[in-house]
Structure formats: C-alpha cells, structure tokens
Amino acid sequence: MPHSALPLLKGYITRHSQHSVTCHDLNIEFFRDLVIGSSLGPDLARFRKRLHSAPDAAAGIKVAFEFDRWLKACFKSWAVVNPGYALTLRSLGTPYDRRDIQQIREFMDVGSTPFDGLFDRLLNSLEGRAVGINLSVEDQILPAFRLATLVKRHFPDAVVVWGGSLLSRLYPIVEGAFGDVWDYLVRREGEEPLLAILDSVENGRPLTRSDDRIVTKSSAGGAVMVAPFVTNAVTAIDETGDGEYSDYQVENYVSLVPILPVLASRKCYWGRCKFCTIHESWDPRFRTRAASAVCDEISSLVSKYGVRYFRFVDEAIPPDLIRSMLPRLKEMGIEFEVYAIAEARFRNEAFVSELGAAGCRQAYFGLESADEAAIASMGKRINQVRHYSEIFSNCARAGVHVYVYTLFGYPGSSAEAEERTVRFILSEPALHSVTIASFVPVTGSPYAEINRDSLVHTGRFTEDYEQATCGSAELDIAAKGREAAESAIESIYGERRDLALTAALNDEMRLALSSRYGPDFARTVHCDELEFLDQIVNAGKQLMSRERVARVLDVDDDW
C-alpha cells in the first residue's frame, strides 16, 4: 500500500499553486525495478486471480503463503547479488547500523550501494530545483541519507527539504549531525510549510512565512539529541484536500489486493498514552475532516483506480465520524479496515453491526494490557478493560477481524498483570490476531518527560532511550520488556496456533482473507497440522532481540 504523505502533499501544492510536483515512492520503485523486475505486474495478477478463485479458507491461505514464498525467492536472489544485505517487505538488513551516526555517514560516502541504480535513474530525470525527502520509518534511514548525499553531490544548488513522521521526532539529530544534506527541515504536518518553501525557491527570495514547523540553517539549534515537541502552528484540515496518486502505479503495489490509504482525522482523539509519541508527528490539535469530503475522496479513488479496498490510517478512527460515513461507504460497496480504541462506543452492538455491514473487515485495537491497573498507569483509561470481550465479540459477529497490539514490560505493570493479559488472549475466542511489543521509553513521550532525569539518550539515531541511571549504575531498560514479551510470545503462539498462523501474514493478506472467508479464517484450517508454525515462537524471539515489536513473523512456510 502506498504511504499517504507524498500524495497528500502533492494534492495540496497543486490545488494551491502553479508549482509542478512529481512524487516518487522509492520503496515500491526499488522492489519493482531492482528486486522483482518486469514480472511484478503479471505475477501479481496471477496470484490475485488464484485468490479470487480459491474455494475455501484453506485454499486461500495456501495462495497467501505461496505469494509469500514467491516474494522471499525474489528477496533472496537480490541478497545473493548484494552480500550482507537482506530484505522483507517491511525491513532492510545491511552491514551498517542504521542507528549509529558514524556508520550512517560511512554509508552516505561509500563507493556504491545496492540502491544507487535506482537513485541514478531518479537523478537523471530530476528537473526541479527542490527535492523533498520523507523519512517515516527506521528502515528508510540509510537509503534516505544516501539519496540526500547524491542529490547534493550532483546538484549542489538544489534545495533539499526533509520531512516525515520519524524526521519530526528525530529532527534535532538530523539538524546537528547531518547539516550538509539539508536546507530545510519540516516538523509535523508539511502542506503549508512546503508551499512556503517552494514559493521562496521559485521567487528567489528569503522565506517570508513565519512557521515554527520549519527549521532553517539560521534557526538550527546545534547538536542537540533530544528536544520537546514545541510547534504551535496547526494546518486547517478542511483545506488539505485529497491525496493525489497519479504518479503511482497503484495496481502494482506488492499486495494480494490493491489497497489505498484514507485519512479522516489528524492526531489522536485520546492522545494521553504515556508510552506513545506517534500522534506527536501531527500538528498539536486533533481535527476531523467533513464526513462528506472523506466519502467523496473514496468515491473519486474508486472511480480513478478501480480500487475496492481502503485503510483508514487515522491514529484512531473517531467512532462518531466513521458512523456518519457508513451509509455512503455501504452504498459504494467497498471494504476497509480501521485503527481504533477499545472504548465504550464499540460496546454498542448496533454501531459495530453497521460498521461490518458497511464493509469493515479488519480493526486494529490498542489493547496493551488486560489489567485495569496497568492500563491506568499507562494513561489509557479510555480502554474498556472489563468489556474487551464484549467489544471483540461485537466485531466478530459483524464480520470484523480483530487485531490487537499488546505491550509488555511497562514500568509498574506487575508480573500478575502481564500474566492476566496472556490468559485473556489465550481464552478470548473473538480475538483473531495479536502483535506483542516490549516497552522502551521514547523521546517526547509523557513517560520520558516524567522520568527525564534518569533516562539516558546515547546519541544514536533513534528515538529510544537505551539506558537509564539508578544511582551510579547504568541499566538496560529494554531488557525487562524483552524478557516479558518473549515469555508472552512463547505462551501465546505456542498454545494458540491460529494466532501463530495470522502472525505470519501481513496486514493486506489478513484483510484479503477476512474479506473472502470471514474474520476467523485461521480457525477453519487444521493449524495443529501445520508444522512450519513451530517456527513462529523462535522467529518472534529473534525479532524481539533486534526490535521492540514482533509482527509479520518470517518463517519457512511450506504449506
């Protein structure tokens, strides 16, 4: 699925100016041009046709895993040609540590990289005077800085603008350690700042807009590793408009079903979880678009691209907003998925039934814990802990696949609380997929602000606090979370094979299978007979040793 940031920026710029903007999704261009090649389109069509004709869930799941094996074969072939590198759809392994500033700089200046063929092609077609780089996830760090280096090397007069959710949270490090590869940094939402920058470049005059989201060379604060979220400007969401995907080959994204993102609100309507900073990538006020405007955008995307699947990428879909859209969504005959909070309005069976009838096929809930005291300590009192079963049962009856995120190792969450969470997951029949994460404090989170005197940022390119002090001792604060998460992985995936099965599927695969065979498709097959699921526990533990979230676990899925 394409990321929505660049199409939203292009849509805004083209509606509010005469600037010519071209978007490149280098993620899919890399997979299409350098990894898979010209067979991507025809092969995708064949797999999609096979899924469409699969008579039952077992046959559909078989297609999903054969699709997965096809991708892995492509990735392994690429890795053979590029020793030391490894790929999945979600991750990039390299000989360089993406969190080590010195190693990032080495990668920026090395003689050649596996991405240079793609970047050279891009640079040869470059016509504009400004280049924007969106940095959203950690696996983009090394390629993004390599690209910025090549742009500055070949086009020293080009204006390089950085933005994106990860950049917004880590901009002080970019500002202080990588000053040679940026001209402007844009924190949080980028429509208005980018237009002001492009106007300045076009007119050859200094930036006139006063916008605290824009960092310039003159306003840079120096080599600071951690800084609070202090911007005040807020984008008027009714003026941002629709995303513009005309530069993308929407049908050729690497997925069993073509799917597009839709954004109905910005920021999180709760926004008080002590462990979270994701919503801080948005401007500092929660806003919603008009329901009619969102539905009009979906209708337009259906008409332009023939897409029938959509993901609402709001941090958490506001229940009242989505409910007001349901009649039109049902009329359009689309299918969609949402991120949601397990709060009181999902106890309303009539609402959830309407949600399913309108086409919702998968909902992602931030469960975190099944213990009320733990939830309270996390600042997430909106969660209806006592009514989780009711909420999830409502969803399952409505045909909605229930996916939950859990968090282990949060300070103050007792061993008994975490065992209660594991027991709840093992016993809850209306729960279809689970992601297990370990707690790590991140810069800018309420937890980090409260405990800033004891947390140590090691100066690496990460938002994680990797150490804490206790008296004169240094502690590995991630170790407790990893230990608790690994124990949960062993219990949950070891005992519930259906959850082990869905853990090996990515979001789009689960959406496609839920759409065709119902939310509990994994229970319609004999999971106990699938020997490759024995690998899930070890795969989860191995991933947890490197990351803080175990999801889309990689196994040799010989169906």
**Residues 255-440+479-487+507-518, CATH architecture:** Alpha-Beta Barrel (3.20)
- What is the pLDDT, as a whole number, of residue 204? 86
Instruction: Give the least confident one: 63-67, 277-281, 378-382.
Output: 277-281
Instruction: Give the least confident one: 123-137, 226-240, 264-278, 496-510.
Output: 226-240
pLDDT greater than 60 at residue 555: no
What is the average pLDDT across 121-141?
94
With cut-offs at 50, 70 and 90, classify the pLDDT of residue 127: confident
- Count of other CB atoms within 10 angstroms of residue 40: 19
What is the average pLDDT across 521-529?
86
pLDDT greater than 90 at residue 527: no
With cut-offs at 50, 70 and 90, classify the pLDDT of residue 399: very high
With cut-offs at 50, 70 and 90, classify the pLDDT of residue 548: low
- Contacts for 100-108: CB closer than 8 Å, 24+ residues apart: 100/460, 100/461, 101/173, 101/177, 101/459, 101/460, 101/461, 104/141, 104/142, 104/145, 104/178, 104/461, 107/142, 107/145, 107/146, 108/145, 108/146, 108/148, 108/149, 108/181
What is the average pLDDT across 261-272?
97
- What is the pLDDT, as a whole number, of residue 28? 95
Query: What does the H/E/C string look like for 479-511?
Result: HHHHHHHHHHHHHHHHHCHHHHHHHCCCHHHHH
- Contacts for 201-208: CB closer than 8 Å, 24+ residues apart: 201/129, 201/130, 201/159, 202/19, 202/129
pLDDT greater than 90 at residue 208: no
- What is the pLDDT, as a whole number, of residue 219? 64
Selected residue with higher pLDDT from 471 and 435: 435
What is the average pLDDT across 379-386?
95
pLDDT digits (tens, 9 = 90+) for 286-335: 999 999 999 999 999 999 999 999 999 999 999 999 999 999 999 999 99
pLDDT greater than 80 at residue 532: no
- What is the pLDDT, as a whole number, of residue 478? 75
What is the average pLDDT across 428-448?
94
Instruction: Give the least confident one: 63-67, 383-387, 431-435, 531-535.
Output: 531-535
- What is the pLDDT, as a whole number, of residue 59? 94
Residues of the chain with CATH 3.20.20.70: 255-440+479-487+507-518
Whole-number average pLDDT of the chain: 91
Beta-strand relationship, 309-312 and 265-266: unpaired
Name, in order, each residue with C-beta under 8 angstroms of 88's C-beta and a sequence gap of 6 or more: 75, 552, 554
Instruction: Give the least confident one: 59-63, 97-101, 343-347, 540-544.
Output: 540-544
Q: Which of the 8 DSSP states describes residue 132?
A: E
Name, in order, each residue with C-beta under 8 angstroms of 153's C-beta and a sequence gap of 6 or more: none
pLDDT greater than 70 at residue 220: no
- What is the pLDDT, as a whole number, of residue 441? 92
